[in-house]
């Protein structure tokens, strides 16, 4: 049972880390779910209120920061709300339409199309597209660091 539990925990950690850059996967929620798998199959004993409070706060921060950092990238480069929405749609659809490069091209095109729809000139639309890519990379970096912190805290608590 312990081997199964650790296998599932590690699998969820891997899915979570891949989800930090691939938005279709549950990311941070997979890592959070790993704690419950560990608890149900091994023991909840190592986890006290400090562990759950810390991990839950990190989850909330990641979820808020994911949208906020991406949106800040678009806004910093002169994009409007239409660019933010287009970038988000492109981030979700892009990997399916263009598997190898959709994570970068999707948000870029989404932001550009969002700006063009509201009548923005090409130069400003392209700038918003660049901002969406910068925001995506910044958001991914924040998620990777915080999700690694979650995993490290789990290991510290369990060992």
Stretch (H or E) spanning 108: helix 102-117
What is the DSSP track for 50-93? HHHHHHHHHHHHHHHHHHHHHHHHHHHTT--HHHHHHHHHHHHH
Q: What's the pLDDT tens digit per position in 129-138?
A: 999 999 889 9
The 8-class DSSP code of residue 120 comes to: -
Q: How far apart are CA 78 and CA 117, in angstroms?
A: 15
- Tokens of residue 48, six digits: 């006290």
Mean pLDDT, consecutive 10-residue stretches, the chain (159 aa), reads 95 95 87 97 95 97 86 86 91 85 91 92 92 90 96 96
For the stretch 37-61, pLDDT in tens is 999 999 999 999 999 999 999 999 9
pTM: 0.87
């Amino acid at each position: 049972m312990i081997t199964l539990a650790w296998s599932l925990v590690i699998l969820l950690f891997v899915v979570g880390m891949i989800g930090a850059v691939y938005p279709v996967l549950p990311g941070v929620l997979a890592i959070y779910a790993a704690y419950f798998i560990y608890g149900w199959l091994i023991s909840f004993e190592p986890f006290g209120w400090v562990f759950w409070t810390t991990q839950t706060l990190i989850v909330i921060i990641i979820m808020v920061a994911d949208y906020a950092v991406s949106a800040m990238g678009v806004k910093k480069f002169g994009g409007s709300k239409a660019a933010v929405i287009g970038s988000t749609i492109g981030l979700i659809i892009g990997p399916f339409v263009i598997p190898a490069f959709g994570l970068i091209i999707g948000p870029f095109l989404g932001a550009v199309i969002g700006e063009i729809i509201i009548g923005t000139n090409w130069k400003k639309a392209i700038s918003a597209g660049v901002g969406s890519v910068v925001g995506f990379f910044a958001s991914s970096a924040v998620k990777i660091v915080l999700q690694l912190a979650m995993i490290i805290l789990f290991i510290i608590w369990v060992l």
